[in-house]
Amino acid sequence: MKKIGVLTSGGDAPGMNAAIRAVVRKAIYHDIEVYGIKYGYQGLIDGNIEKMELGSVGDIIQRGGTKLYSARCEEFKTEAGQQKGIEQLKKHDIDGLVVIGGDGSFRGAKKLTEKGYPCIGVPGTIDNDIPGTDFTIGFDTALNTIIEAIDKIRDTATSHERTYVVEVMGRDAGDLALWAGLADGAETIMVPERNEDFDDVVQRLKRGHDRGKKHSIIIVAEGVGSGFDFGQRIKEATDLETRVTVLGHTQRGGSPTAADRVLASRLGAKAVDILLAGKAGRMVGIQNNKLVDHDILEVLDQGHMLDMDMYKLSQELSI
Ligand code: F6P
């Protein structure tokens, strides 16, 4: 292997830059040339590919977003799109590809691998919804962004004795909602993996209010439904003064936390190591603080599992 490519795809995540840096530096350390592919799979199809030098990844470890830009690419889901991508890789003599992204990006890597092209996936998504790794790059930063916001909301909720509904990201995964709820002592956490009974939520709020609780925080993952609709229903059912905050894409930006920078550096370097060792169709991850790699196809088939013990604990602590 003489030349490798790297791309970021799907929703960006803080720490992706640190992962790109690790891939580039680790490869050059081993005398391998690295090519950056801009705009994810779209850039691969379009041949938006350029050589990366040591200096090209200087001063990015602390930056959010991705230096290589990102995109969601419908065309790459087709046979024709994947074929165009492989042709571009061959044209540039690139022998292997590191894909930094989430579930959708891994599906693209899986397709390339099935077609005989060696790919390694690095889990980068704020959703923390990739099986085979305890954490994905960006989750810790997004979580801390949410915590900071909710701490501020709690101040004003206390002053005005209001109920707040806070909508956080997570279309299919409730990790951000659950971890933020536990870290912030939210009264109720609504995740897509569980069908929480609305009447139970209302009863819990009323019980708290009768006990003298003057304000409450309810965290709703976007996959459960609109925070605004939910806030309206709460208001109608309880008559409590209710406000809604949707944190939206603030959760995707910002300087990565130390934990995300370290994780991204370790995973990016590991991806290069296993590509050079001749492995393909693998994803790298971290489990019990040990770097691991798994068959990307098997992992994707497993599906994401929310930690139900943690969910139960959050309920026990918010009685
Ligand atoms: O997958 C990351 C994520 O931020 C999800 O939490 C969210 O549902 C989605 O991306 C939003 O995507 P977009 O930025 O394309 O609207």
* Position in ligand 1 atom list of the atom nearest CA 169: 6
pLDDT at 297: 84
Short-list 259, 256, 263, CA closest to 122: 263
Torsions phi, psi for 98 (to 5 deg) = -105, 125
Q: How many angstroms from the chain centroid is the CA of residue 80?
A: 28
Mutate to test the pocket of ligand 1, among 100, 169, 172, 222 (most ligand atoms within 8 A of CB): 169
Sign of CA dihedral 52, 259, 178, 235: negative
Cα 279 to ligand 1 centroid, rounded to whole Å: 30
Q: 188: part of which helix (H) or strand (E)? A: strand 188-190
Alpha carbon distance 187, 217 (integer Å): 6
Residue whose Cα lies nearest atom 8 of ligand 1: it is 171
For residue 126 and ligand 1, the question of a CB distance below 6 A is answered with yes
The shares of helix, strand and coil residues in the chain, as percent rounded to the nearest 5, are 50, 20, 35
142-179 CB burial, b ≥16 within 10 A, e <16? bbbbbeebbeebbeebeeeebbbbbbbbbeebbbbbbb
Q: Show pLDDT as tens, one digit a residue, over the chain (319 residues).
A: 999 999 999 999 999 999 999 999 999 999 999 999 999 999 999 999 999 999 999 999 999 999 999 999 999 999 999 999 999 999 999 999 999 999 999 999 999 999 989 999 999 999 999 999 999 999 999 999 999 999 999 999 999 999 999 999 999 999 999 999 999 999 999 999 998 899 999 999 999 999 999 999 999 999 999 999 999 999 999 999 999 999 999 999 999 999 999 999 999 999 999 999 999 999 999 999 999 999 998 998 998 999 999 999 999 998 7
Alpha helices in 173-254 (DSSP H): 175-184, 198-210, 227-238
Among 250, 257, 310, smallest CA distance to 139 is for 257
Q: Please tell me the distance between residue 28's alpha carbon and the centre of ligand 1 in angstroms.
A: 32
Catalytic residue among 12, 103, 127, 175: 127
Ligand 1 pocket mutation pick from 8, 72, 129, 171 by most atoms within 8 angstroms of CB: 171
User: Of ligand 1's atoms, which has the minimum distance to the CA of residue 251?
Assistant: 4
Q: What angle do CA 35, 41, 42 make, to 5 degrees?
A: 105
**244: Cβ–Cβ under 8 A, 6 or more apart, which residues?**
164, 165, 166, 167, 227, 228, 230, 231
Judge whether 127 counts as a catalytic residue: yes
Distance 10 CA to ligand 1 centre (A): 8
For residue range 79-114, what is the model confidence (pLDDT) as tens digits? 999 999 999 999 999 999 999 999 999 999 999 999
Atom of ligand 1 nearest to the CA of 103: 1
Query: Residues 227-252: pLDDT tens digits?
Result: 999 999 999 999 999 999 999 999 99
Q: What tokens were used for 126?
A: 């704020």
